Amino acid sequence: MKCFDRLGELSNGEPRHDAAMRALAALVDDHGGLAGLGQRFRDIGLGTELDSWLASGENLPITAADVYVALGEGAVEQFADMTETTSLAAARLMADSLPELFDRLTPGGVLPESDDAITRWFSALGVLFER
């Protein structure tokens, strides 16, 4: 959960878990669910990286630049606004978080059939961060 620990350190070390979880949930929702979000990375030639996130084993990394290319400046700006951080910091956080997000949301390497599974996961994760 290393990258998810970073989600709480977005702005001057202050916990921002709720904002980060909402931003990730919005990102998934705005891109047509997890499958749509993943397709954006596949479309720019990062299919091998995406496949590693779905498979067991090590997740291949992506860069902040990859996030900008795959998702666009608007998505990065929205994430930055929601997490009260800079665009560059948001892109880096997204690059660090998305591989683990896909890994955790795809048990057995299968994308969830509905976004209900994703919504339940984010809700459960939010409860954990409130402790």
Dihedral angle computed from the Cα positions of residues 98, 22, 80 and 70, in that order, rounded to the nearest 10 degrees: 40
Assess if residue 6 is contained within a domain: no
Is residue 110 in some structural domain? Answer: yes
Question: Is residue 12 a part of any domain in this protein?
Answer: no
Can you give the residue range of the structural domain that contains 97? 17-130
11 lies in a domain? no
Reading the block at residue 13, the tokens are 């070390």
Look up residue 43 and give its two tokens.
């479309």
Q: Is the pLDDT of residue 64 over 70?
A: yes
Q: Which two tokens stand for residue 26?
A: 């919005």
Q: Is residue 40 situated within a structural domain?
A: yes
- pLDDT band per the 50, 70, 90 thresholds, residue 22: confident
Question: Is residue 107 included in any domain, yes or no?
Answer: yes
54 assigned to some structural domain: yes
Does residue 8 fall inside a structural domain? no
The Cβ of residue 100 has, within 10 Å, a number of other Cβ atoms equal to 15
Residue 52, pLDDT above cutoff 60 = yes
User: Mean per-residue pLDDT for 27-48?
Assistant: 92
Which of 16-20, 46-50, 71-75, 85-89 is predicted least confidently?
Answer: 16-20
- Work out the mean pLDDT of the chain and round it to a whole number: 81
Element (H, E) at 78: helix 64-83
- 102-116: buried (b, 16+ CB within 10 Å) or exposed (e) per residue? bbebbeeeebbeebe
Indicate the number of domains in the chain. 1
Residue 115 vs residue 22, higher pLDDT: 22
CATH of residue 38: 1.10.10.690
- In the chain, how many H helices and how many E strands? 7, 0
Is 7's pLDDT higher than 70?
Answer: no
